[in-house]
């Protein structure tokens, strides 16, 4: 092609057709520029296409992780709700009117600690690698970036309740009475007298002023969980909805 253009230029010069030569040269320059612009456009199109593919991969990975974490959060939050109800039931009931099974179940629910431990491998990778910039939806990008702050606020409330329980309730119960493992966990049959004795020992702990005071404090510490929890859950659901919407746009 270049040889063809060169041949035409030489012919025009040899024929002393300077005006036509200049017009031709300008036209050739314009064609070259158009070719360059087209090549750049194709290159940009290919680059954008690759970026969109990479963004789609990031969006799908984040969606899977957020869905898994929402399910894990629901389990943790329901556990805290049950614990809160157990504390309230213990504080508002007469323990002596409850059966041994009920007392054991309430006591276990009150004693058990539970924390929300989300998967964050994908999230951390996206944030630390800078791939968050691949997310084209600015609203979604901001939500993903700040969700960690909401998670930290929620987990701080969980930690406060857990640490108080570990440092205060457990030592008190350990020092206050002897716990018969086989009766507490019903691993074997016992006589009525043995069960009655165990219940009396358990009641001494449950009816003490210190135990009631500890439950009041634990209940208070847990209030933060029920303030921060719904906020975190709502934001996770919002992110999941936005991720699904963006994925649908990319795939259609």
CA pair distance 158, 163, nearest whole angstrom:
9
Confidence of residue 127 (pLDDT cuts 50, 70, 90): very high
Using alpha carbons only, how large is the chain's radius of gyration in Å? 35
Residue-wise pLDDT tens digits, 39-54: 566 556 556 567 688 9
Q: In 15-111, which ranges are continuous DSSP H helix?
A: 18-92, 100-111
pLDDT of residue 84: 97
pTM of the model: 0.79
pLDDT, position 2: 46
Of 213, 80, 65, nearest to 159 by C-alpha is 80
Model confidence at 70: pLDDT above 90: yes
Q: How far is Cα 231 from Cα 95, in angstroms, rounded to an integer?
A: 35
- Average pLDDT on 84-98 reads 94
Reported as a pLDDT band with limits 50, 70 and 90, residue 11 is low
What is the domain partition of the chain in residue ranges?
A: 54-251
- Is residue 154 within 8 A of residue 229, CB to CB? The reply is yes
Mean pLDDT score across all residues of the chain: 86
Residue 234 — φ and ψ, nearest 5°?
-60, -40
**Which are the contacts of 203, defined by CB distance < 8 A and separation ≥ 6?**
95, 96, 103
Q: What is the DSSP string of 121-179?
A: HHHHHHHHHTGGGG---HHHHHHHHHHHHHHHHHHHHHHHHHHHIIIIIHHHHHHH---
**Which residue carries 């556990």 as its tokens?**
79
- Assign 178 a pLDDT band (cuts: 50, 70, 90): confident
């Amino acid at each position: 092609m270049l040889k063809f253009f060169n041949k035409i230029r030489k012919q025009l010069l040899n024929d002393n057709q300077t005006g036509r030569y200049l017009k031709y040269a300008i036209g050739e320059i314009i064609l070259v520029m158009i070719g360059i612009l087209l090549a750049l456009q194709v290159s940009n199109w290919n680059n954008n296409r690759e970026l969109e593919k990479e963004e789609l991969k990031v969006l799908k990975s984040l969606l899977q992780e957020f869905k898994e974490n929402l399910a894990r959060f629901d389990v943790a939050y329901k556990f805290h709700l049950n614990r809160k109800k157990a504390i309230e039931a213990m504080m508002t009931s007469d323990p002596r009117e409850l059966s041994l099974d009920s007392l054991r179940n309430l006591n276990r629910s009150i004693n058990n600690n539970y924390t929300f431990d989300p998967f964050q491998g994908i999230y951390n990778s996206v944030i630390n690698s800078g791939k968050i910039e691949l997310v084209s939806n600015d609203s979604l990008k901001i939500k993903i970036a700040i969700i960690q702050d909401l998670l930290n606020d929620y987990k701080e409330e969980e930690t406060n309740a857990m640490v108080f329980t570990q440092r205060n309730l457990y030592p008190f119960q350990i020092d206050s009475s002897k716990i018969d493992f086989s009766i507490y966990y019903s691993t074997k049959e016992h006589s009525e007298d043995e069960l009655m004795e165990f219940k009396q020992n358990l009641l001494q702990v449950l009816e003490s002023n210190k135990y009631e005071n500890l439950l009041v404090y634990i209940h208070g510490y847990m209030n933060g969980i029920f303030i921060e929890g719904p906020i975190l859950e709502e934001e996770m659901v919002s992110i999941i909805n936005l991720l699904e919407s963006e994925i649908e746009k990319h795939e259609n």
